[in-house]
Amino acid sequence: MSLIPKAQFVGLEGVAHLCTGGEAPWLRSHDAACRRFGALKSGGMAGREEIFAVYGRAKEGVARLLGVPPSRVAFLAHASEGLNQAARSVAWRPGDNAVFADLEYPSLIYPVAALRERGVEPRIVRTVGHYLSMDALAGAVDSRTRLLLVSHVSYLTGQRLDLARCAELARSRGAWLAVDATHALGVAPVPGDCCDFVVSSCYKWLLATHGVGIFASSAERVGDLAPATLGWHSVASRPGPADPLAMALREDAARLEAGNPSLLGCFVLDNALGAREGLEPEAILEHALDLGGELIAGLQARGCPVITPEAPAERAGNVCFLADDAEALTRRLAERRVLVWSGDGRVRVSAHLHNDAADVRAFFEALDAVGEAGGPEAQPGARTTRKP
């Protein structure tokens, strides 16, 4: 059975929603949270104070999920802004390098790719069979590596990395570890204390919406960061006309928020965090792994090339398989009220809190009905799954 009833979401009647990795369904209670924001916004200064109280509570909730102090969490516009902040926080020198895998999401790659004009090498680790080997990652990191960038869970393959091992690798060479937790936070425990920088979107596994990106950094290892952008919200106090150039930055991560973050988005995030109260992170992951195991077994039985590792320790909520025309297959499944995600030659099936075994059955019934048995061959010599 699901961990949160489908009835608590908009539009899931008669629908197998298996695409949280793309867009999470909307909680019905978000409507009330938005109405409350509207009422407070019309409430003058007292209303504004309450709005910022909710902003603070949402930040505390995120900090608990990451296992870091709330003072180290900032709400930026999106995860991409946080990755740019991380890249700009490094004191780069010509000849330095930044390491990342070839299958990473562009938002993780582009901020360091732009450093080439400063003599920094973007060092790409090539994957084999859609699998990122820790040995290959370690082989690319050397004494000139300043930043190791990884996704905790791959948007493309669903592979989950051991962040403790990634952190050990980075620190053994004097590098910082930057982690995109967008496909982990909300479905898998994210050890934020392992990360020098960690970012996440909120509109996927956290069940919130767009406009709020999570950013956190380690006070012990990277210290107080210089904001990539500055505004009135960056400073602790404003002396005004007497000294308009004075900039006493906030002592906490809010210095990175140049202006008001998406306060409406914070209300939705706060409500989403409240909806999962009482659910242990390990139980949420176990639920996703159980459903994912059924998906992998069924896809393998049908000859579909699964590129998500089979070992539970190496996956979370995403199960991905190759398809000749992934977009067309996704459309045909949607016509049968089964929602999945596609792109880059693969179909991504995502199991989360609202899903159950009936959704998995509906997926396979629809898959069989549209006649998709298998897909393109994996790369030569590649594995399609990785067993424990």
Residue 373 has pLDDT above 60, yes or no: no
Pairing of strands 213-217, 73-76: antiparallel
The structure's pTM equals 0.94
Say what the pLDDT of residue 151 is.
98
| pLDDT confidence bin for 242, thresholds 50/70/90 | confident
Residues 299 and 259 in one domain: no
Q: Pick from 275, 294, 319: which residue ends a domain?
A: 275
259 within some domain: yes
Say what the pLDDT of residue 133 is.
97
Residue 371 has pLDDT above 90, yes or no: no
Select from 329, 312, 288 the least CA-distant residue to 385: 312
Residue 200 has pLDDT above 80, yes or no: yes
CB 177 within 8 A of CB 205: no
Residues 73 and 212 in one domain: yes
Chain position carrying tokens 């659910």: 279
Q: What is the pLDDT of residues 268-299, one digit of tens each?
A: 999 999 999 999 999 999 999 999 999 999 99
Say what the pLDDT of residue 384 is.
42
Say what the pLDDT of residue 8 is.
98
CB 139 within 8 A of CB 126: no
2 within some domain: no
107 within some domain: yes
Looking at residues 221-246, what average pLDDT do you find? 91
375 within some domain: no
Residues 264 and 285 in one domain: no
Looking at residues 129-138, what average pLDDT do you find? 97
Pairing of strands 235-237, 248-249: antiparallel
Looking at residues 61-81, what average pLDDT do you find? 97
E strands along the chain, which residues? 16-17, 73-76, 97-101, 121-125, 145-151, 176-180, 197-200, 213-217, 235-237, 248-249, 318-322, 338-339, 341-343, 346-350
Residues 233 and 315 in one domain: no
Q: Pick from 222, 241, 275: which residue ends a domain?
A: 275
Residues 114 and 225 in one domain: yes
Q: What is the mean pLDDT of the chain?
A: 94
Say what the pLDDT of residue 376 is.
42
Domain encompassing residue 131: 29-275
Residue 83 has pLDDT above 60, yes or no: yes
Say what the pLDDT of residue 380 is.
33
20 within some domain: no
11 within some domain: no
Residue 108 has pLDDT above 90, yes or no: yes
Domain at 64, CATH number: 3.40.640.10
| pLDDT confidence bin for 383, thresholds 50/70/90 | very low
Say what the pLDDT of residue 372 is.
54
Select from 375, 315, 325, 377 the least CA-distant residue to 351: 315
Residues 288 and 239 in one domain: no
| pLDDT confidence bin for 387, thresholds 50/70/90 | very low
Residues 264 and 289 in one domain: no
149 class by beta-carbon count within 10 Å (0-12 exposed, 13-18 middle, 19+ buried): buried
Strand partners, 306: 321
Domain at 288, CATH number: 3.90.1150.10
Give the H/E segment covering residue 227: none
Residues 213 and 313 in one domain: no
Residues 257 and 316 in one domain: no
Q: Pick from 249, 275, 301: which residue ends a domain?
A: 275
Residues 291 and 237 in one domain: no
Say what the pLDDT of residue 382 is.
36
| pLDDT confidence bin for 375, thresholds 50/70/90 | very low
HSE-CB at 357 with a 13 A cutoff on CA atoms is 3
Say what the pLDDT of residue 239 is.
83
Q: What is the pLDDT of residues 9-64, one digit of tens each?
A: 999 999 999 999 999 999 999 999 999 999 999 999 999 999 999 999 999 999 99
Count up the domains in the chain and report the number: 2
Report CA 327 to chain centroid distance, whole Å.
23
Residues 119 and 141 in one domain: yes
3 within some domain: no
Residues 252 and 298 in one domain: no
Say what the pLDDT of residue 36 is.
98
Residue 189 has pLDDT above 80, yes or no: yes
379 within some domain: no
Percent of the chain at pLDDT > 90 equals 93
